[in-house]
Amino acid sequence: MKVNGKRYDWSDVDIHLTGLNIELLEISYDDELEKELQYGKGSKPKGYGTGNYKPTAKISLSREEFNILLAYCNKKKISLYMLEIPKIVVSYANDNYPTQTDVLPQVSITKTSNKAAQGDKSLKVDLDLLVSGVIVRNGVKAI
Does a structural domain hold residue 56?
A: yes
Does a structural domain hold residue 2?
A: no
Does a structural domain hold residue 1?
A: no
What distances in angstroms separate CA 132 from CA 6, 50, 54, 66, 102, one per listed residue?
Answer: 35, 19, 9, 22, 15
Range of the domain at 99: 10-141
Based on the structure, what is the number of domains in the chain? Answer: 1
- State residue 11's pLDDT score: 85
Which of the four pLDDT bands, split at 50, 70 and 90, describes residue 113? very high
Does a structural domain hold residue 64?
A: yes
CATH number at residue 82: 2.30.110.20
Query: DSSP assignment of 12-37, as one string?
Result: GEEEEETT-----SEEEEEEEEEEEE
What distances in angstroms separate CA 12 from CA 50, 105, 118, one per listed residue?
Answer: 36, 21, 32
Taking only Cα atoms into account, the Rg of the chain, rounded to an integer number of angstroms, comes to 19
Kindly tell me if the per-residue pLDDT of 46 is higher than 90: yes
Average pLDDT, the chain: 93
Does a structural domain hold residue 5?
A: no
Kindly tell me if the per-residue pLDDT of 3 is higher than 70: no
Does a structural domain hold residue 55?
A: yes
Kindly tell me if the per-residue pLDDT of 58 is higher than 90: yes
- State residue 89's pLDDT score: 94
Give percent of the chain with pLDDT exceeding 90: 81
Which of the four pLDDT bands, split at 50, 70 and 90, describes residue 2? low
pLDDT in tens, 83-99: 999 999 999 988 888 89
- State residue 32's pLDDT score: 98
Does a structural domain hold residue 3?
A: no
Does a structural domain hold residue 17?
A: yes
Q: Is the dihedral of CA 85, 86, 88, 93 positive or negative?
A: negative
Kindly tell me if the per-residue pLDDT of 7 is higher than 70: yes
- State residue 36's pLDDT score: 97
Lowest average pLDDT, out of 61-75, 93-107, 111-125, goes to: 93-107
